[in-house]
Amino acid sequence: MHDDTLLTVTGLSKHFDGVPAVEDVSFDVRRSETLGIVGESGSGKTTLARCILRAIDPDAGVVRFRSADGWVELQDLSPKELIPLRREMQMIFQDPFASLNPRMTVREILEEPLVVHRVGNREERLAAVLDMLDHVQLEHDSLTRYPHAFSGGQRQRIGIARALILRPNLVVCDESVSALDVSVQAQIINLLEDLQRDLGLTYLFVAHDLSVVQHICDRVLVMHRGRVVESGVVDDLFANPREDYTRLLLSAIPSPDPDVPLRPLDRRSVGL
């Protein structure tokens, strides 16, 4: 363990009705890095992300998080004990439509974390909200609007602003760009990178799109059927995949060159 380790996950497992979704997963996350978690649909990456933040409760394993007050083991905390820790770890969701309450204005959405954690008075909270809107490059007149007035990319910016307004250390991005158009995806990825640099964030970046992961991540875990099959520094792993499954995933990345045909590997040919 490095002394700048922010999160350690050891032997994490989660079953749904006896079916394993996450099976004995262990890894570390270092401060200010971006760790990618990739895998196909159903590989357990979202479940893993949710277990870490205790959005769902894991069945087994240890999740150690370095909070402002030292190390805590998240898996044993009661919901009440978790509440103060929510300031330090947040999630950015996949679906920018479903993740914003349609009945709250942008101001209410962004203010809520501050209200819940009793941060500042009314003016200070408004100032923080406006500051956050600047960070995610939204107009100040967005405040009084409802989510239905925004495009997908703008909504995702609102979701990002909500996650970051408490200035967390750890941010879990659960397929946060998967639902967006490619051009919007690029904007949001750049925004996430800017914010990471400005605010010193650590990302746990769950994605199925390997080209996105290659762009944004420092290290990557490859998950298959609930288990981590391979992990390593992104460039190494992408250049020299050791596992067949990783090769299968990599073969599904389309080339930017339109003349290069996409030739995904056949599952059976790699023995999966």
Partner 1 sequence: MSEVALPSGAGVAAGVTDRETAAAISPRRLMWLRFRRHRLALASGAFLLVLYVLAAFCEFVAPYGTTTRNDDAINAPPMGVHFFDAEGRFHLRPFVYAYRMEVNPDTWMREYAEDTGTRHPIRFFARGEPYEMWNLFPMDRHLFTTDAGTYIHLFGTDPLGRDMFSRVLYGGRISLSIGIVGVVLTIVLGILLGGIAGYLGGLADRVVNKAIEVLQCLPSLPLWMALSAALPVHWSPLLVYFGITIILSLFGWTALARQVRGRFLALREEEFVMAARLIGADTPRVIRKHMLPSFSSHIIATATLAVPAMILGETALSFLGIGLRPPVVSWGVLMFQAQNPLVIELTPWQMFPGLFVVLTVMAFNLLGDGLRDAADPYSTGGMK
Rounded CA gap, 130 and 124, in Å? Answer: 10
For 23, 227, 245, the CA distances from 248, given in Å and listed in that order, are: 21, 16, 5
Q: How far is the CB of 52 from partner 1 (least distance, A)?
A: 11
Task: Compare residues 33 and 108 and give the one whose CB is closer to partner 1.
Answer: 108
The number of beta carbons lying within 10 Å of the beta carbon of residue 127 is 12
The two tokens of residue 93 are 């969701």
Query: If we measure between CA atoms, which residue out of 7, 3, 4, 20 comes closest to residue 221?
Result: 7
Q: How far is the CB of 87 from partner 1 (least distance, A)?
A: 7
Task: Compare residues 46 and 246 and give the one whose CB is closer to partner 1.
Answer: 46
CB 85 within 8 A of CB 75: no
Task: Provide the 3-class DSSP secondary structure of residue 20.
Answer: strand
Task: Compare residues 147 and 241 and give the one whose CB is closer to partner 1.
Answer: 147
Task: Provide the 3-class DSSP secondary structure of residue 234.
Answer: helix
Q: Provide the binding-site residues for partner 1, judged by CB under 8 A.
A: 53, 55, 79-80, 82-84, 86-87, 90-91, 93-95, 97-105, 112-113, 116-117, 144-149, 159, 162, 166
The two tokens of residue 200 are 């010193």
Task: Compare residues 115 and 233 and give the one whose CB is closer to partner 1.
Answer: 115
